[in-house]
Amino acid sequence: MTDTADPPPSRPREGSELRARCGDCFGLCCVALPFFASSEFAFDKPAGSPCRNLRQDFHCGVHPDLRERGLSGCTVFECFGAGQKVSRVTFGGTDWRGDAGRAREMFEVFPVMRTLHELLWYLTEALGLPGAAALRGELRRTLRRTEQLTLGTSQELRALDVEAHRASVSALLLRAGELQRSRTPGRKQNRRGADLTGARLESARLRAANLRGALLVAANLRHADLRGADLIGADLRGADLCGANLAGALFLTQAQLDSARGDADTVLPVALARPAHW
């Protein structure tokens, strides 16, 4: 059986705890994380310092105009629901203002929680892959273990070796992706971690290819066949996806799409939305 007969993989839906709900967060991504003046950010902001555009109600004061103001990097960030989890669960609805110690803890916990929630997103998708049926027991156990970790105390989360957990989950996701891609007949390209920055890949046959962690910044992927390709961690900033076919692409996130360029002819996985700026 080929992947053309497979149902679309399961992905968290709108309203899921694995999607950002900024109204339930204390603007953590606008404070905890640093950014540096570049093509994606108009100015420097150190870690732990509120962005100049953050309002008292924790909303962005220039959100509708971020791209026009040179802050496109903000538009492609996805916390996978970590912001509301830290704000409302880990710290019980108490914000970071007025207590330097609590603020420091929240800002340290936030990136740990984001990693855990990102892994939950990928594990949820992997559970829906028909080719990975043999791994479902292990995937479920790993998902439950990761969910349990997200419910830890601030102290437990800050002490967690999150990179070791990520490495363990990544190895499992790699196996799931390989099993799913093996359902597509024929030879598949392996460009895992390849530096394809600015590469000319127009109409490239990349069906079920391994593009995990590939650098595809500003790559020309117009009309490329990316059906069933594993794109976990691939850097698609500025990549031209006009007319490309991404149906059934594995582990592709909305943030990756938002960082790229496409058009009305780009075929997307069913659970992802066409970015407004396309």
For the stretch 219-271, pLDDT in tens is 999 999 999 999 999 999 999 999 999 999 999 999 999 999 999 999 999 88
pLDDT band for 190, please (50, 70, 90 cuts).
very high
Rounded to whole angstroms, the Cα distance separating 263 from 171 reads 34
Q: How large a percentage of the chain has pLDDT more than 90?
A: 92
Least confident of 9-18, 26-35, 38-47, 104-113: 9-18
DSSP calls for 172-221? HHHHHHHHHHTTS-S---B-TT-B-TT-B-TT-B-TT-B-TT-B-TT-B-
**Residue 179 · residue 134 · CB < 8 Å:** yes
* Cα four-point dihedral sign 248, 254, 260, 261: positive
Q: Backbone phi, then psi, for 45, in 5-degree steps?
A: -145, 120
**Residue 238 · residue 257 · CB < 8 Å:** no
The domains found in the chain, sorted by start residue, are 22-181 (no CATH), 186-278 (2.160.20.80)
Rg of the chain (C-alpha set): 19
DSSP calls for 82-146? HHHHIIIIITTT--STT-HHHHHHHHHHHHHHHHHHHHHHHHHHHHT-GGGGGGHHHHHHHHHHH
pLDDT of the residue at 17: 86
Q: Decide if pLDDT at 3 tops 70.
A: no
Taking residues 49-63, report their average pLDDT.
96
Residue 151 in tokens: 């419910």
pTM of the prediction? 0.91
pLDDT of the residue at 4: 42
